[in-house]
Amino acid sequence: MNNFGYVRAASVKDAIDRSAGDPKAMIIAGGTNLVDRMKVFLDEPSQLIDISRLELKKIEKTADGGLRIGALVTNTEVADHAEVRAQYPVLARSILSGASQQIRNLATVGGNLLQRTRCPYYYDTAFACNKRMPGSGCPAANGVNRGHAIFGNSEHCVAVHPSDMCVALAALDAVVEVEGPKGPRKIAFGEFHRLPGDTPNRDTNLEPGELITAVTIPASPFAKSSVYLKLRDRASYAFALISVAAVLDMSGKKIKTARLALGGVAHKPWRTTEAEAFLQGKAADTATFQKAAELALKGAKPLSHNTFKVTLAKRAIVRALTISAKGGGVA
């Protein structure tokens, strides 16, 4: 790691002032991603602004019956929260399927949204990488890219967003609350992360100096019958090759509404709105689910080593929807 300064933020405003006043300063929360990155010189901050002691650690009910989760609530606390388990099991299960207990105990909601890709070329500074150094090139585009994107990839970057929690939050229509030098604002989850385009160095639409303060989830009485299915190279403690968050609102054997988001496929959690629209009003059977899976993968642009993801994703969608239609549970 480079040698940096350190300060504990006294308030949200203090953190914003300090980070707006020094473009090379960085926020640290749980540190599980940032410390890892600093160790290999991916980040060389001038100073760290430690926000871990700020009062952003509450999970509260919102006026509309949803939940507001503070940016510093740990992943473990979200997954073990009674209301989250009862009302939004897809969120609890997405978190529990990610990382290990040791990491989830430190990892915060804000940090999870801002963790950076696990593209091996990005991590290995012996390679060029447009995310790390804009304009240097993307060795993954024509290299070993079995873990990379099949949607929304550009010639400049084909990396995927690694978070599991974010896939569930995308399906749940969450909203990110941020505060910055220009005051507070709310960002719809679908607008928070970006596609790489020609600026893959920017993962999100957060402006300089902006801090995530909370994530809110609207009330969703049907989110109970939801499923998070994660497929990876080993059964536990690995990032997703493909993941599916499926949320079905059933009326008897018919689907009233459906939400479907994919992980491991794009630079951001990938909502499949066309498939969702198709599912609405249909009978919950295998034929319907297969058609929905076809629609969900329609625009996929696989790379040289990851065509398998298209088939894997389709099968995963059918399985997740089938279990969700039966009331959810372990996928």
Partner 1 sequence: MENQEKAVPKASRRKFLSQALTAAGSVVVAPTLIESATAIGAEAPPSPVPVAPSTAGEISVTLHINGAKKTLSVEPRVTLLDTLRERLELTGSKKGCDHGQCGACTVLIDGQRAYSCLCLAVMQEGKEIVTIEGLAKGEVLHPVQEAFIHQDGFQCGYCTPGQICASVALLDEIKRGCASAITPDLSSPPQLSNLSEAEIKERLSGNLCRCSAYNGIVAAVQQAAGHTPPSAAALVLGATAKEGA
Number of helices (H), then strands (E), in the chain: 13, 12
Within 149-178, the residues that bind ligand FAD by CB under 6 A are 162-165
When asked if residue 264 is in the footprint of ligand SF4 (CB under 6 A), the reply is no
| Among the residue ranges 24-32, 150-158, 216-224, 314-322, the one whose residues contact ligand FAD (CB under 6 A) | 24-32
Our CB check for ligand SF4 shows the closer of 158 and 172 to be 158
Selection from 73, 75, 10, 1 nearest residue 44 by Cα:
1
29 binds ligand FAD, rule: CB under 6 A: yes
Query: Where does this chain touch partner 1 (CB under 8 A) — which range of 74-82, 134-142, 146-154, 243-251?
Result: 74-82
How far is 59 from 296, CA to CA, in rounded Å? 33
CB of 186 to partner 1, least distance (A): 25
Residue 164 · residue 196 · CB < 8 Å = no
Residue among 17, 20, 59, 105 that touches partner 1 (CB under 8 A): 105
CA dihedral 22, 24, 29, 35 (to 10 degrees): -160
Nearest 5°: phi and psi at 55?
Answer: -80, 60
| Binding to ligand SF4 in span 126-145, by CB under 6 A | 129-131, 138-140
Strand-pair partners of 262: 244, 270
Q: How far apart are CA 314 and CA 292, in angstroms?
A: 9
* CB 169 to partner 1: min, Å: 17
- Give me 69's structure tokens: 């989760």
Residue 210 three-state SS: coil
Q: Decide: is 269 part of the binding site for partner 1 (CB under 8 A).
A: no
Quick check: 4 binds partner 1 (CB under 8 A)? Answer: yes
Which of ligand SF4, ligand FAD, partner 1, none does 115 bind, CB closer than 5 to 8 A by kind?
Answer: ligand FAD
Three-state DSSP at 38 gives: helix
302 binds ligand SF4 per the rule CB under 6 A? no
Residue 211 has phi, psi (to 5 degrees) of -115, 140
State the nearest-atom distance from the C-beta of 204 to ligand FAD, in Å.
9
Length of the chain: 331
Site for partner 1 in 85-104 (CB under 8 A): 85-86, 89, 92-93, 96-97, 99-103
Q: Is position 79 an interface residue for ligand FAD (rule: CB under 6 A)?
A: no
Q: Report in angstroms the alpha-carbon separations of 240 from 11, 160, 204, 303.
A: 36, 10, 20, 17
Closest CA to 194 of 131, 110, 267, 271: 267
The residue among 164 and 249 lying less far from ligand FAD, judged by its C-beta, is 164
Among 88, 121, 151, 228, binds ligand SF4 (CB under 6 A): 121
DSSP structural state of residue 264? S
Q: Closest residue to ligand FAD, Cβ-based? A: 111
Q: CB of 176: closest distance to ligand FAD in angstroms?
A: 10
Which residue ranges make up the site for ligand FAD (CB under 6 A)? 26-34, 36, 71, 98-99, 103, 106-108, 110-112, 114-115, 162-165, 211-212, 239
